Structure 1
Amino acid sequence: MYITITAQKLSGAFNQSVADFVNYLEKENNEKEAELQEHFFNQYEDQIAPQQVISEIDSNTKKLKKVEPKFYSITVNPSSYELKRLQNNSEDLKKYTRALMQDYVKAFNREINNKPITIDAIKYFAKIEHTRTFKGTDKQVLENQPYASKILKLKNEIRKINSGEQTRNIQLLENKINKLESNAPHKQNGKRIVQGMQKQGSQSHIHIIVSRKDNTNSYSLSPGSKYKASEVTLNGKIVKRGFDRDSFFKNAEQTFDTTFQYKRNYVETYNARKTFIKNPKIYFSALLELPTNERAVAFKLLSKSGVPVTSIPTNQVQLVLKAFKKLKQLTEVAIQSSSIGI
């Protein structure tokens, strides 16, 4: 499980409205028949129109400055292993989203009218997507780029030959193109991976738009707060503040496991990810101390994420002496993917 919380982008050409983001999330529906489309939903309603989402989020911004985010985006990316536990991706992910947002409100160290924040205090809309495409920043696209550049150059030369600007052997150039296509390091279904290509396999994930203001448009609720839990005096009153991301991520993970009876391996846990970031040696030490069956599954998960498990040290002496730099770099990429960690 990989979950991110991102504030609305306000710099440059980004709009103050949520409209662009909502329209972006409608992209899958543009290619589907009406009965197959995924609609926005919230805690109690299904099939919410995009226009309603835009209207309610844009109008719920009282007293917020232009430089302050009006909404936050939560993206929830279950791994392929987690998705296998679902019976119906759309309905099960809706169910999980509604449980997840209960965890979200519990992570706030805030009170409204002297009462803890409840699910009814927030305004959110969610959308499930089932496909992903390769981006220009993806490892596969970046490592294929040198081949793509050479192929483009050769195709331009063929174009010039066909237009009479050059006289060369087209077949020779086409053979070079075929060789480059064959040698490109990353392929999918036999084709070189390029930006915009749809990723294969189950890619279901959740996008959640949460208003910065509460449902009454009176209180600011920011998951971007730098405080986990603190108190401050405002107008003579003690006010609680803060959002505990650690608590939210851990509970989100536990909620999934409980809801779908998922047995989470060590390398998939939020605590493991935090340990890796803080001290990779402790992370790998804990990995080696797992029971044999769990360790085998952990190595399988790491291997499928691109980590060379044969280079992981097998005893404590090696653990201290072995250089972790390259392994740490590779594991860091994997652990931030949708396959490992939150």
Structure 2
Amino acid sequence: MVTNFSSPIKGANGGSCSRLAGYLEKENNQLPPGQQEAFFSSQSDKVSQIEVVAGIDRNGAAQGLKTGQDRFYTFTIDPSQKELAHIGGDRDKLRDYTRAVMDNYAANFGKGIESRELVWYAKIEYSRHYAHDDKAVQEGAAQKGQPKEGDQTHIHVIVSRFKERQQEGERSTSLSPLTNHRQAGGAIGNGFDRVNFIQANERSFDQKFSYSREQTETFDHARAARSEHQPDRLAARDQAIKAQIDRVRPQPQRDQDQATRQERPTHQEPTQSNYLSR
């Protein structure tokens, strides 16, 4: 499960979200009205593009921002093909999960805010295409603009920078997921911890849909595999090898190995929650 804070429309977050909302209608432009995918929110499964633009723009107006400052943010929720297969590609489950992600988003600011107090909208999309910077394109295995293989379902989220106003004209709390304010010990204090957010989203998916996540599917494993710190890379590689061996080992042997491990004295290793910069 990947949560990616990037925008398909570069440099547009300082003004109206109309360009982004229009871009997210690209799949609908190829479909008849009865088959089009609507935006959704915390309260509704069907929100129009007009309502999305009005809701985000109105909440960001007259909030004291300087010209060019972000008025809204966007990120994608990218389930793996295995995760999508686990829930059968169910749209209702994807909406339900997105709402859980937004609960995590609100809680991660540490200000006692709930997702129902935010202004956000989301859109499910079903296809992706290769870009010029994809490894497959650079190596000549695919062409730019070519559809990617397999289930490419993902969710785009647009969320206002500000908590929802209670009355017209008031200034509400500013909430930026791109700011990490670290305390002296390295922990995130008054800010948004993106690592914790991604980890919370993994847990929400696993708990909500009874998904048994292998170690090699976790964000922690992927982060260790990319680490410049060699012991972390080696540990991630060893975990992947062990997971592969476990998949092909007969069940009786796996049960015996598990019993043997349980009989051995345990040694608690220190955690390495901050071994990569966030």
TM-score w.r.t. the length of structure 2 is: 0.77
Change (3 A) 1:228 1:101: farther
Post-superposition CA distance 1:311-337 (Å, at most 9, x none): xxxxxxxxxxxxxxxxxxxxxxxxxxx
Q: Give the Å deviation of 1:40.
A: 0.4
- Does structure 2 conserve the Cα–Cα contact (< 8 Å) formed by 1:229 and 1:244? no
Q: After TM superposition, give the deviation of residue 229 of structure 1 in Å.
A: 6.9
Greater Rg by CA: 1
Asked if the contact 1:124–1:209 (Cα under 8 Å) also holds between the matched residues in 2, the reply is yes
The yes-or-no answer on 1:250 pairing with 2:199 is yes
Q: Is the 8 A contact 1:126 1:208 kept in 2?
A: yes
One of 112, 119, 128 as aligned partner of 1:132? 128
Deviations 1:132-187 (A, max 9, x none): 1111211222222xxxxxxxxxxxxxxxxxxxxxxxxxxxxxxxxxxxxxxxxx2x
Alignment match of 1:197 (pick from 129, 136, 146): 146
- Residue 202 and residue 286 in structure 1: after superposition, are their counterparts in 2 closer, same or farther (change >3 A)? closer
Q: Which residue number corresponds to residue 152 of structure 1?
A: none
Aligned counterpart, 1:79 = 80
- Report the CA distance shift for 1:200/1:261 in structure 2 as closer, same or farther (over 3 A): same
- For residues 326-341 of structure 1, the aligned pairs below 5 Å read none
Give SS of 2:203's match. helix
What secondary structure, in the 3-state scheme, does the structure 2 residue paired with 1:21 have? Answer: helix
C-alpha distance in 2, partners of 1:108/1:140?
A: 37
TM-aligned CA distance change 1:14 to 1:254, over 3 Å: closer
- Aligned residue pairs total 236
Contact 1:75 1:206 in 2 (8 A): yes
Distance of 1:265 and 1:65 partners within structure 2: 46
Q: Residue 231 of structure 2 corresponds to which residue in structure 1?
A: 281
CA offsets 1:90-124 (integer angstroms, 9 cap, x no match): 221111101111111110022xxxxx111122110
Take 1:197 and 1:23, find their aligned partners in 2: how far apart are those partners?
22
Contact kept, 8 Å, 1:229 with 1:242, in 2: the verdict is no
For the 8 Å contact 2:38–2:48, the answer to whether it is kept is: yes
Q: 1:54 to 1:48 in 2, by over 3 A?
A: same
Instruction: State the match for 2:276 in structure 1.
Output: none
- The amino acid that maps onto 1:46 is D
Q: Measure, in 2, the Cα distance between the counterparts of 1:208 and 1:128.
A: 9
For the residue of structure 2 that corresponds to 1:126, the secondary structure is strand
Residues 103 and 297 of structure 1: is their aligned pair in 2 closer, same or farther, counting only changes over 3 Å? farther
Q: 2:115 aligns with which of 114, 119, 133?
A: 119
Aligned in 2, Cα 1:228/1:204: closer, same or farther, shift over 3 Å? farther
Taking every aligned residue pair, what percent have the same amino acid on both sides? 32
Separation in 2, partners of 1:52, 1:92: 23
Structure (1/2) with the larger helix percentage: 1
- The residue matched to 2:235 in structure 1 has which SS? helix
8 Å CA contact 1:7–1:224 kept in 2: the answer is: no
**Secondary structure class of the residue paired with 2:158:** strand
Asked if 1:109 corresponds to 2:110, the answer is yes
Structure 1 counterpart of 2:34: 35
What residue is the counterpart of 1:270 in the other structure? 219
| One-letter amino acid matched to 1:220 | S
Q: CA RMSD in A?
A: 2.6
Give the whole-Å Cα distance in 2 for the aligned partners of 1:34 and 1:8. Answer: 24
The 1:142/1:7 distance shift into structure 2, 3 A limit, reads closer
Query: Is 1:51 aligned to residue 50 of structure 2?
Result: yes
Point out where structure 2 has 5 or more consecutive residues left out of the alignment. 166-170, 249-278
Q: Kindly report structure 1 stretches of 4+ aligned residues shifted beyond 6 Å.
A: 7-10
| Cα deviation 1:274-328 (Å, max 9, x = unaligned) | 3232524333335425784x234799xxxxxxxxxxxxxxxxxxxxxxxxxxxxx
Q: Which residue of structure 2 aligns with residue 210 of structure 1? A: 159
| Alpha-carbon contact 2:120-2:157 (below 8 Å) kept | yes
In structure 1, the residue corresponding to 2:178 is in which secondary structure? coil
Higher strand share: 1
